[in-house]
Amino acid sequence: MMKYRFGPSGGHGGHAFEDALPGDTVALETGETASLTGLIGVRVRHADRIDAVSLVWGYSGPDGQAVPAPTELEEPHGGPEGVEELFELHAPDEWITVISGRYGQTVDSLRLETNLGRSAEFGGKGGDHAFQYDIPAGLKLAGFFGSAGYLLDALGVILSPAVSAPETVPESSKTPARKTPARKAAASKPAAPSEDAKAAKPRKAAKSTADTATPPAEDAPKPKRNRKKAAES
């Protein structure tokens, strides 16, 4: 699965971590398969700073009942202290759109916002630096990475294409639009092109500034053939 990493924001302590991307399906002990429902929550331990953070994924079995996600997907990053809170999401209709906060030597505060306008704040009021990660349409939060020890030292986000929306590639990952060559005029012995044909050139596709990918530029106009007959002698 394609993924994009942004960050991390925070200090330089702790041990590096990176979440594994969730699979679309997981095998159950019964031999049956459970399907990914989506991100259903973010679990945070906090006091005056962020102690630990982890994502909570939802899976459903063949009968539609919820089943536990693989433990490696929900491993907390940080220490065991602080108050634990769960910010629940109503998947698949609700998802995280903004992750922001403040940091100094560690991550001091964390704020989560969703597409439905709901939000939650964790941590204290400290931190000399602000950070913010906006998740554009077409991408979704797929994991966290950064560093942690007794506290959450640094936090970055991992994004992947959303299934239910057209893929939106961040500016840093975009590639130039393709050029479409002009078609050649079909003729065995073409006459000299007219002045209008000489002026016609293949158009280049402009670089996209929109969220979605830009389709290839249209074919350039065919050069007009000179159909004038030779003057009678």
Per residue in 113-129, pLDDT (tens digit) is: 999 999 999 999 999 99
Q: Domain 4-168 maps to which CATH number in 3.30.565.10, 2.100.10.30, 2.40.128.130, 3.40.50.300?
A: 2.100.10.30
CA distance 161 to 151: 30
**Who wins on pLDDT, 201 or 25?**
25
Residue 216 buriedness (CB in 10 A; 0-12 / 13-18 / 19+): exposed
Q: What are phi and psi of 74, to 5 degrees?
A: -120, 20
Most confident residue range from 52-56, 175-179, 208-212, 220-224 = 52-56
Q: How far is CA 39 from CA 14, 69, 86, 116, 173, in A?
A: 26, 11, 12, 15, 24
CA distance 64 to 61: 5
Direct distance between the N- and C-terminal alpha carbons of the chain, in angstroms, rounded to an integer: 73
Most confident residue range from 29-43, 68-82, 97-111 = 97-111
Of the candidates 56, 71, 58, the residue with the CA atom closest to the CA atom of residue 112 = 56
CA distance 23 to 201: 48
pLDDT of residue 178: 40
**Who wins on pLDDT, 35 or 42?**
42
Instruction: Check whether 225 has a pLDDT greater than 80.
Output: no
Confidence of residue 2 (pLDDT cuts 50, 70, 90): confident
pLDDT, mean of residues 161-171: 55
Please give the model's pTM, rounded to 2 decimal places: 0.67
Q: Where are the domains of the chain?
A: 4-168, 174-225
> Are residues 44 and 87 in contact, defined by beta-carbon separation less than 8 angstroms?
yes
> Which residue intervals of 126-206 are DSSP H helices?
195-199
- At 135 the three-state DSSP class reads coil
